[in-house]
Structure 1
Amino acid sequence: MAKLEDRMEQVLERHRLEMMRHLDAWLESVEQSLGPQVRPMPSTPTRQKRPSLRSAPTRGEGLSDRMNSYDAARLTHTRVVEASAAASAAATSQVEALESIPESPKAAVLRSWQEKVGALMASQTSSLFFSMLIITNSLFLGLQLEWQSAAQDISSGEEIFLGIHIGYAVVFSVEVCLRLFAEGFWPYVWQSSDWAWNWLDIFVVSSTWAELIALLVTPGTSTMGANRNLRALRLLRIGRIVRVVRVARVARLFRSLRTLINSLMGTLKALFWSLLLLCLIIYMFAILFTDAVLDHRATSGWLESRDEEYLAKYYGGMYNSIETLFRSISSGLTWEEAADTLRVIENGEFWVQLFHFYVAFCSFAVLNVMTGVFCNAAIKAAENDHELRVLSLLQTRKELTNQVQNLFHKIDERGEGQVTIGEFEKHFADESVMGFFESLEIGAMDAWTLFMSLDMDGDHTISVEEFTERCLKLHGPARSADLFALRQGSEKFGVQLLNIEDKQRKLERQLELLGSGVQRGYL
């Protein structure tokens, strides 16, 4: 028995030495393949310099060589990943070090107040408050003009209206100052996504105070010069009226108005080119009609008669002809009279029919095409509004959630908040339930398949949270995000399989070496 134990110890010792030789050869090959940038591994105290196993080919040598190159590649990849992680960690530590630099107490207090003011101005309550002020200010301007018109005195109620005007100016000035303090000067003026609206606010507040100063400084309105100056300054009130447009951007209450404004703004480019085309068409026909009328009047000796007066009225010059042609297609006048006026000139019937062709061409072709272009531009402008799309998606999701919850309560007859497979299968044959799932584009061959898809935790019951969440996730066809997640999962599964194969090969090699060592020991 003692001899057997000694024999086993000798075999294990030889196996250990052989494994150390394999480790030496592997480390040397790794150092040679990686080059001088890799630091040499410290020598192991128990390692002895022995000839490499390459001089004595064995059954496991080929496998060992293949594994050496594979392990070297894996080691290289591991070290690259570690180096990248170290660089990223170093950069993160530098950023954290910069952020950890203690700031002065004044700067800390200033930043704290900026955050508080920014949160206040970004709140829904603040947006609705200032939106209502903008609307009431616009109504106040109209009320002031109506009051002065009824009293037939421009100075009627001037003191009261001036006080209200100052109150609005102070509130709007406070709003601009708070936003400027919360965002900072340069972000508010240039870097903000609403910089154009911010500039409009600054213009409105500045023009309001300029008007107030002029009203307070002007000694009275008795002289014509003072009245003329006041009328010029009152034109600045247009800037305050334009502030109403901002309500459509900051208040969700006016989402429909905001859609109309965005659609209208999106048609401006198409409107410019459409008007240019229409002007070219009108100008071309105006040249024809004006030239014909002038030739007729020159031939007839510029007689004064009723027909000649109508010719001079409608086609006496380029401006008259352009005005007549534009009004004829825009319901500005009855174009029958403008067309019949051309009968008195030479070849008058031809010119009348040419006028008919102009009206038909512009009414049935040009204006209809322009309408279609405007509609297309308005639809695209409404679809490209990111904030409006987000609000619409949130509203749609909310409505869909309510519908799903109502369906769950219909299936949950017991009212326990849990639906079993029996209850689900019972109501699955209902046409309203099937129609609801089809409207969500959730298809299933049977109730069991759909139930297992909705059961997230696998407890064979569905809660209202599970039912709602899974229905929203299964709603509609597979999206690109779902396909990408599936691909990522497949890639991770493939990597795990490769790791398992790698470990299995290493285990087989160790068992092979152990078996060969035991056989040589017994021999």
Structure 2
Amino acid sequence: MQVSEGSEQARPPWIVRVVNHAWFDPFFSVVVITNSVFIGIDVELNPSAMGPRSSIIVAVQYFYTFLFCLELAFRSAAMGREYYCSKEWMWAALDVFIVATSLWEVFVDTWYAIVEEDEEGSLESFGGLTGLKAFRIVRITRIVKTVRLMRIFRFVLALRTLIHSIWHTLKSLFWALVLLLLIVYVFGMIFTQAVNGHIFDPDAPELSLEDTEVSLHYYGKLTTTMLSLFMSVTDGISWEHLGSFEVRDSCAKESMQPRFYVSFTYFCVLNVLTAVFCQSAIESAQNDHATAVQSMLANKEMHLQKIRALFSQFGNDKTSMITFGQFEAKINSAEVREYFETLGLDVEDAWSFFKLLDQDGGGSVEIEEFLKGCLRFRGQAKAIDIGQLLHDQSWLIRHQSRFHTYMETELQKLKKQITSLVTVLTTSPDSTPARRIRKRTEEENALKAAAAAAAAEVSQANV
């Protein structure tokens, strides 16, 4: 649990840095694991809690108590009320309980040592605590001490996932037991009536004394029959005992009842219940937010390491950029292909893939562009990618349609204006452009006439 930025301002900065340090949680996870091992060693060496304890065991126990108190103090000082009011308040309550029981154990050990030294019982009046009462308190304290093992689930992701899955399958477990109870109850009534009816029927074949005793042992009452049926499908007893008596040969229907019960319960009911439990466990593991976040971070870090190693294959370690030439030269190598396959990338066209990576169009790809591109293109398209593509496509079609409508309107206006201008120029004789054209035509005709007259005069002079 990290300290939020809002709470950092009111807390001692050095304590906040210690709690947020990368090695804080791993260190205390190791402390919890080693303490769990130590508890087992302590119980193994002194299972009754009556014998003398080694001074080393006591010293190590007090050292773990000091570490637990230190952790709780640091977390409380760094987070304050947020530590006990956040979403992980149950872990905070467990920490407080563990520290309280650890301090209580130190107190009880000291008190028990004082009572044990008084062989005459002169301290019996001291709170009414005799050696036997002190022994009982020590036993209770050592049993409560095993609660510390639960802290392992906080730091070990795999154990936390299993416990979370088991917790969310309790509802399915309850209804599974109800269903199994109903099935056993129905078949129990059938078997009890069939067996007792056969035993006490005067017209039925008489059973031997041994078979009668065994039949009454397994089928004498409804409760014993239900227990026998439940044990037969849970490996408590062999299901052969259900139909091993001579009563099974009394009629074909009765001989098929045990076989049908075992077949139906074992192959149908238990398999369906197993599938339901598996489905519930998978869904709970997927819905565990902390587990999902840690899994995503672990996968992302693994992919980043692979991509950095892949990037170093294209260029050298001194540069942070690669060009298309370097990319094309290395893309067909077996090592690079293997990297791309582990990342879930199928690169067939080097140039197209490089253009997708080079988003700024600079002709080279930096390591940040390479990392983001490979993480974005690995695997199959997600629903959000398809949704974004559909949104962009819809936006493009909508704006393109508007642009086409606008251009068509403007072209129609331009066409009308050109048509009007041509009409004006060709039909109006008094318009200024028409007069200019007519004047220019007259001037050209006058020049042509003058040139012709001059040419005629020159020809006459020569004659």
Q: What range describes the TM-score normalised by the shorter chain of this pair?
A: 0.5 to 0.7
Task: Kindly provide the amino acid, as one letter, of the partner of residue 244 in structure 1.
Answer: L
Where does residue 247 of structure 1 map in the other structure?
A: 152
Q: Quick one: structure 1 residues 230 and 205, their matched pair in 2 at CA, closer, same or farther if it must change by over 3 Å?
A: farther
Aligned residue in 2 for 1:205: 99
Aligned-pair Cα RMSD in Å: 4.3
- In structure 2, distance between residues paired with 1:138 and 1:399: 31
1:259 aligns with 2:161: yes
1:419–1:461 Cα contact (<8 Å) kept: yes
> Distance in 1 between the 2:42 and 2:177 partners?
37
Where 1:383 maps in the other structure, the secondary structure is helix
SS at match of 2:351: helix
Q: Figure out how many residues of one structure are paired with residues of the other and give that number.
A: 381
Pair 1:324-2:228 in alignment: yes
Give the greater-gyration-radius structure (CA): 2
Deviations 1:323-342 (A, max 9, x none): 2222211112222134313x
Distance 1:352 1:165 in 2: 63
Task: Give the counterpart letter for 2:192 in structure 1.
Answer: T
Q: Write the distance in 2 (CA, Å) between the matches of 1:132 and 1:454.
A: 43
Name the CA shift for 1:279/1:123 in 2 (closer, same or farther; >3 Å).
farther
Gaps of 5+ in 1: 1-98, 100-107, 502-523
Q: Which residue of 2 aligns with 1:270?
A: 172
Q: Hey, what does 1:287 align to over in structure 2?
A: 189
Give the residue type in structure 1 aligned to 2:99.
V
**For 1:151-230, what aligned pairs fall within 5 Å after superposition?**
154-157=50-53, 161-185=57-81, 187-189=82-84, 191-218=85-112, 219-220=115-116, 226-227=131-132, 230=135
Distance 1:297 1:229, change over 3 A: farther
CA deviation after TM superposition for structure 1 residue 381, in Å: 1.6
Partner of 2:10: 111
The counterpart of 1:148, out of the listed 46, 50, 70, is: 46
Q: 1:306 aligns with which of 203, 206, 210?
A: 210
Which residue is 1:393 aligned to? 296
Q: In 2, are the aligned partners of 1:172 and 1:205 still within 8 Å (CA)?
A: yes
CA offset at residue 453 of structure 1? 2.6
2:454 corresponding residue in structure 1: none
Alpha-carbon contact 1:270-1:374 (below 8 Å) kept: yes
Give distance in 2, aligned partners of 1:298 and 1:271: 39
User: Per the alignment, do residues 420 and 120 of structure 1 end up closer, same or farther by CA in structure 2, a change over 3 Å counting?
Assistant: closer
Q: CA deviation at 1:385?
A: 2.0
**Which residue identity is paired with 1:138?**
S
* Superposition map of 1:124-139 within 5 A: 124-139=22-37
SS at structure 2 position matched to 1:243: helix
Deviation of 1:373 after TM superposition, in Å, equals 0.9
- Aligned partner of 1:57 in structure 2 is none
2:264 counterpart of 1:361: yes
- Look up the SS of the partner of 1:112 in the other structure: coil
CA distance in 1, matches of 2:336, 2:56: 65
Match of residue 18, structure 2, among 98, 116, 120: 120
Secondary structure of 2:51's counterpart equals: coil
8 Å CA contact 1:296, 1:345 repeated in 2 = no
Q: Partner amino acid for 2:187?
A: F
Contact 1:131–1:247, Cα closer than 8 Å, also in 2: yes
Match of 2:280 among 377, 381, 388: 377
Matched-pair contact (CA < 8 Å) for 1:215–1:230: no
| Other structure's SS at 1:111 match | coil
Q: Distance between the aligned counterparts of 1:407 and 1:243, measured in 2?
A: 44
SS of match in other structure, 2:365: strand
Separation in 1, partners of 2:107, 2:270: 49
Please, which of 321, 333, 353 is the counterpart of residue 450 of structure 1? 353
Cα distance, 1:418 vs. partner? 4.4
Partner secondary structure for residue 10 of structure 2: helix
| C-alpha displacement of 1:308 | 2.6
- The answer to whether the 8 Å contact 1:208/1:237 transfers is no
Q: How far apart, CA to CA, are the structure 1 residues paired with 2:201 and 2:31?
A: 67
**Residue 209 to residue 315, structure 1, CA distance change in 2 (3 Å):** farther
CA displacement, residues 443-464 of structure 1 (integer Å, 9 cap, x when unaligned): 7784333333322443323344
Cα distance, 1:379 vs structure 2:
1.2
Q: Name the CA distance, whole Å, in 1 between partners of 2:334 and 2:8.
A: 63
With 437-446 and 302-311 compared, the bigger mean Cα shift is at 437-446
Partners of 1:443 and 1:204 lie apart in 2 by: 53
Question: Partners of 1:109 and 1:395 in 2: how far apart?
Answer: 27
| Inter-partner Cα distance in structure 2 for 1:363 and 1:266 | 24
Aligned residues: percent identity? 31
Displacement of 1:364: 0.2
Distance 1:292 1:262, change over 3 A: same
Matched-pair contact (CA < 8 Å) for 2:49–2:135? no
* Cα distance between partner residues in 1 of 2:181 and 2:350: 66
Aligned partners of 1:340 and 1:352 also within 8 Å: no
Does the 8 Å contact 1:207/1:237 carry over to 2? no
